[in-house]
Amino acid sequence: MNILVVDDDAVMVELLQYFLEENGMSVTTAASPPEALEFLLHKKIDLVVSDAIMPGGGARRLLADILKTQPDMPVILMSGYGPNDLNLPDHHARGFWRKGEAIDNLIAMVKAVR
C-alpha cells in the first residue's frame, strides 16, 4: 500500500513513516497541501494520512484538491485536537486519529482501508 503522509511537523512525519513502513507500507511525505497535490497527480497513492491544521490551507484545502482530482481517494485525518474541536468536513475522511493516541489505532485504520 502506498501512503502519502501530509504534515508540517517533521518529527511527526518521521515517526509515522517509521511505523507505517514497519507495518509493510510504502510512504511518501509532504509538508503542505500544495506539495501533497503534486504527489497525488504524479505518483500512485492508495491512501492519504493528513494533519488537519497546517500552513497552505490544511485539511480543507487538501480535501478540496483530492475531491477535484481523485474523488475516491481514502483520507485519514489527524490532529492534536479532537475532531469536534476542528469543525472539519468529514464527508470524505475515512477516519480520525488524535495525535498522542496509541499508534496502533492509526495502523488499524490504515489496514482497514486495504
Q: Whose CA is closest to 88, among 57, 54, 60, 47?
A: 60
At residue 95, the pLDDT reads: 83
CATH number, domain of 53, equals 3.40.50.2300
Domain span including residue 43: 2-113
List, for residues 60-107, the tens digit of each pLDDT value.
888 888 888 898 999 999 988 665 656 665 556 678 898 989 999 999
The label of the residue with cell 477516519 reads: 95
pTM of the model: 0.90
Our CA angle for 104, 87, 4, nearest 5°, is 45
Mean of all residue pLDDT scores within the chain: 88
Q: Whose CA is closest to 79, among 29, 6, 30?
A: 6
For the chain, the domain total comes to: 1
